[in-house]
Amino acid sequence: MSRVIGIDLGTTNSCVSVIENGQPTVIPNAGGYRTTPSMFAISHDGKRLVGHLAKRQAVTNSRNTVHASKRLIGRRFDAPEVQKAIDLCPYEIVRGANDDPRIKIAGKTFTCPEIGGIILREMKRVAEEYVGEPVSDAVITVPAYFNDTQRQCTKDAGKIAGLEVLRIINEPTAAAMAYGAGHREEEKVAIYDLGGGTFDISVLDMSDGVIEVLATGGNTFLGGEDFDRMIVAHLLEKFEENEGIDLREDAMALQRLKDAAEKAKCDLSEREKTEISLPFIASDDSGPRHLQLEMDRATLEALVHGLVNQTLKTVEACVADAGLQPGDVDRVILVGGQTRMPLIQKAVGEFFNKGPHKGVNPDEVVAIGAALQGEALTSDESNLLLLDVTPLSLGIATVGGHFAKLIERNTTVPVRKTHTFTTTRDGQSAVKIRVLQGEAEAAAENDLLGEFILSGIRKAPQGEPEIEVCFDIDANGIVSVSATDLATGKEQSITVNATGTLSQDEIERIIEDHELYEVATKE
Amino acid sequence: MSSADAAGDRKDVRVPALAPDCDLTRLDLSPQEGFLLSRIDGHTPKDLLSQLAGLPPHDVDLCLARWAEAGVVVWSKAGPPATERVNGASATRAGAPPRLEANASSPEGESAAAATEAGSPAVASDLPALDPGLDIPEEAQQAILDFHERLERPYAEILGVASDADARAVKRAYFQLSKEFHPDRWFRRDIGPFKEPLERIFRKVVEAYELMSDPTVRAEMERSLGADAEAAPVEGADSADPKAASERAERRRKRALSPFSPLGRLIAKRKAKAKSFFEAAMAAVSDERWLEAAASLRLAVAYDPKSALYRERFGEVQAQAHEIRFAQLMKEADSALSFRDRKDALRIYEEALIFRPYDPEANHVAAKLAWLAADDLHRAKEYAMRAVEADPDKAEYHRGLGQIYAAAGLKANARRELKTALRLDPRDLEAKQALKSL
């Protein structure tokens, strides 16, 4: 039987893991690195570069280098998050045919699942080189707060990479699996996951290999890159103050500042003080200018204090969602490179009134958990079981633009729920069932997953017909909805296909396209 | 429903099913009847239907008999007369044909009690037989079948914990059962027809866990459970003693309706909902918002069909609401007619007839409009006939029907109606003329 790999498809870095003799192993790439930058570029001479190769040339080729595309995947072009990204990213983001954001580099347009697919394909290749045989099955992780469309798009990315995606699981849940595999005692665990682009918090209950997700929460647009951005803004300001030159429109300088900011941030996790030195970053009539400046931990902490507080608010809500007090949590696990920051360790420790658990590698634990879940699904040897939940509430739109939730968020799947609705007009013979996902009270503020019409309702005064709506989520997270007129027994149903994703045809076309390209590079 | 008590109080376990390809829309049903009809799924026996729909068994009998006559409902083969014995669980266990029987009343034997009284007829019907060809060991198949039979038991029994177990014990039991019955255990295996019962088991286990670990629900259960909180005695040993059998039946009934059982829990939940709708309705009544009050009361009745109070108030308020709506629509129709929009007027009249189907004047006008505005003589005739039926002493209505018959070329009928009109009102010139032109 071919092996299942676990892939943490991160905003900034990705990681792949496989189970060997019952033990999870993180697979290093050809360069010996255990994580691979989630970057894709087309070089000046038309070569396609992924991972470290893409990152290395990013400074000189920032317009044709894609990073952090995970922030765009599964969103609508008009979404505020996408508009924000357009302002921040050096590469071009254009409106696609399905109103989805697409990325245009070197004159070629890519969908976001396609970019994800390119990175996943690289991770697949890394794994295949290591195990020495083809790999096709994978478990891929996503932020807990990804909605159905974003998950579907990630699945599409897997297909594009030639992977059979056994399951999409939440990053913090994966981290919990990795922890739970080694700790069999009964514990309530909080996973605080601050990655490059997203923040997730999950509270879980585990005992002897069974992992129950009590609650999840998060923010898909808050992560380490926002910390970097705060530093970059600070550097820009300082430079303008000292030299009178505004670097905000200079793409190459911005890329250098970004790299320097990231490095300074990492340095300050280890040390109290660091030096930022960017020679020849600009020039004017009087000659070349250099950015030279010292930064201490306190300055950094003052810059990002607000971001950390933002995460703690989400943590508070999630713990309450789980029906717990912060003190009830037995263990706190930090995941994601950003949690190396002492300020975060201190703030989280203060919130839960206990120091965070050491002993997991925050960069690798998610991929390890994904591989363990793959093993749990396919092997009789595994003794792990994940009791997963729905990340967002599901329901239908009702009269007056309200959202009636049928399945509350954090409900264990598989689940089936029914509820009875009625008509709003006398003699009404058809109702439209609009299936929504989200937490907002107003229907319009939630994501529309699909809609259908139940017709042939017996004519009756308003409020008399009984229409039973049934929501069903199976273990694989596939949502189907049916509506039945109880008087006539007439039924209508759909399996929800997330909107805005690629059709099967499109996926096949993209796969073909990339296979052509693969052949081309081997020549 | 085990064979044990079939001897004592004989229950009617016949199972009605909907006839295939039957157009249900042609039936004219009250909401209660519609609700009853909606509960017929081909698995649920008659006596349970009466419980589910909250209707007296006699009413259910009448409805079912009527529908059977109309060809809407058929009695499934499963279990005609209650005395007939069909394959029980023990037979299946030996590898006999799949159990299609809804409520197998098992013959004697060790598994009788466990198999039958717990196995809900509503869900036990489609259980598969053991199949060595599947990608799941036969012991696991058997475990699914065995556990599935316990699904209608009280939650504590499903989880295998004492009814006063603490949260920790409940969670442990839940985790243990999840390990065994989570569908992921058979991920990508061909488990064939076992998929559905397996998912049902897991959903039920989750439900049991959630309700038993909800402190407010637990408190409520314990309050209303009172003295019955003792664990149910094991039964099935001495079915010979009729007194013991009837006592057992009584205990079983109590247990089925106790807040610990899924059914009892459901009923308690629905009652609470009904009450909140009733309160909303009464508030609406005091503000004379009759339409809103009627809608709320209708829901109250749907959720608690046994409450005489709700029904009675619903009857009154609905009548009031219908009157108001009817009057509103009549006004709208008048205004439509004043604009000479006869098609719109017809639509409004037809809507009004939903509220007062036998209003003679409304039927009479609707008939005329259907004839003149929509050129639909068939519909026109229906309305005109209903007007005549509702008030046979009005010459105008007979004349109207006669004219419609005449337009449709049914001369004999037309003459008869026009003559009746003239007999009732000899001065009806219009009728005279119409008769002449025939």
Average pLDDT of chain A is: 89
pLDDT surpasses 90 at A366: yes
What does the pLDDT read at residue B289? 85
| Residue pLDDT, tens place only, A94-125 | 999 888 999 999 999 999 999 999 999 999 99
Determine the topology of domain A394-489 in CATH: Substrate Binding Domain Of DNAk; Chain A, domain 1 (2.60.34)
The two tokens of residue B87 are: 């394959």
Across A6-13, average pLDDT = 95
pLDDT of residue A374: 95
* B49 contacts: CB under 8 Å, gap ≥ 6: B16, B36, B39, B40, B60
Tell me if residue A417 is catalytic.
no
Looking up tokens 């109590």 gives B254
What's residue B422's pLDDT? 93
Range(s) of chain A covered by CATH 2.60.34.10 = 394-489
Per-residue pLDDT tens over the stretch A212-241 = 999 888 887 889 989 999 999 999 999 999
- A425 interfacial to chain B (CB closer than 8 Å): no
Nearest to B406 by CA among B425, B387, B424, B431: B431
CATH topology for the B89-222+241-257 domain: Helix Hairpins (1.10.287)
Q: How far is A79 from chain B (nearest CA, A)?
A: 35
pLDDT at B360: 92
Question: Is A171 part of the annotated catalytic residue set?
Answer: yes
- pLDDT score, position A335: 92
Segment A147-193, tens digit of pLDDT = 888 888 999 999 999 999 999 999 999 999 999 888 888 999 999 99
CATH class of B357-437: mainly alpha
* Among B76, B73, B71, CA closest to B60: B73
pLDDT score for B104: 27
CA angle B82/B84/B85 to nearest 5° reads: 115
Looking at this predicted complex, what is its ipTM?
0.83
DSSP helix, strand, coil percent of chain A (3-state; round to 5) = 35, 30, 35
Q: How far is A10 from chain B (nearest CA, A)?
A: 26
Asked whether the whole model's pTM tops 0.90, one would answer: no
Handedness of CA A106, A109, A112, A114 (dihedral sign): negative
pLDDT of residue A426: 78
Annotated catalytic residue A474: no
Residue B229 pLDDT: 35
Q: Which helix (H) or strand (E) holds A310?
A: helix A297-321
Look at residue B7 in the predicted model and tell me its pLDDT. 37
Task: Supply the pLDDT for residue B54.
Answer: 63
| A285 is known as an active-site residue | no
Q: What is the mean pLDDT of residues A355-366?
A: 88
**Torsions phi, psi of B261, nearest 5?**
-85, 155
CA distance B43 to B116: 14
> What are the b/e assignments for B61-87, b being 16+ CB within 10 Å?
eebbeebeeeebbbebebbeebeeebb
Per-residue pLDDT, A139: 97
What is the CATH T-level fold of the domain A224-302, as seen in this structure?
Actin; Chain A, domain 4 (3.90.640)
Q: Which chain B residues have a beta carbon less than 8 Å from that of A468?
A: 38
Q: How many residues make up chain A in this entry?
A: 523
pLDDT < 50: residue spans in chain B = 1-11, 77-124, 226-240
One-character DSSP codes across B237-286: S-TT-HHHHHHHHHHHHHHHHSTTSHHHHHHHHHHHHHHHHHHHHHHHHH
Which of A426, A455, A468, A472 to mutate to test binding with chain B, by most B CBs within 10 Å of its CB?
A426
Q: Which residue type, as a one-letter code, is found at position B85?
A: R
| Pick from A385, A416, A458: CB nearest B179 | A385
For residue B127, which phi and psi values (nearest 5 degrees)?
-70, 135
Using CA atoms, how far apart are residues A72 and A157, in angstroms rounded to an integer?
13
pLDDT score, position B239: 44
Give the type of residue at B166. D
d(CA A368, CA A360): 10
- Residue of A465, A399, A462, A454 whose CA lies nearest to A425: A462
User: How far apart, in whole angstroms, are the C-alpha atoms of residue B139 and residue B232?
Assistant: 28
pLDDT at B424: 92
Q: Can you give the residue ranges of every domain in chain B? A: 3-75, 89-222+241-257, 357-437
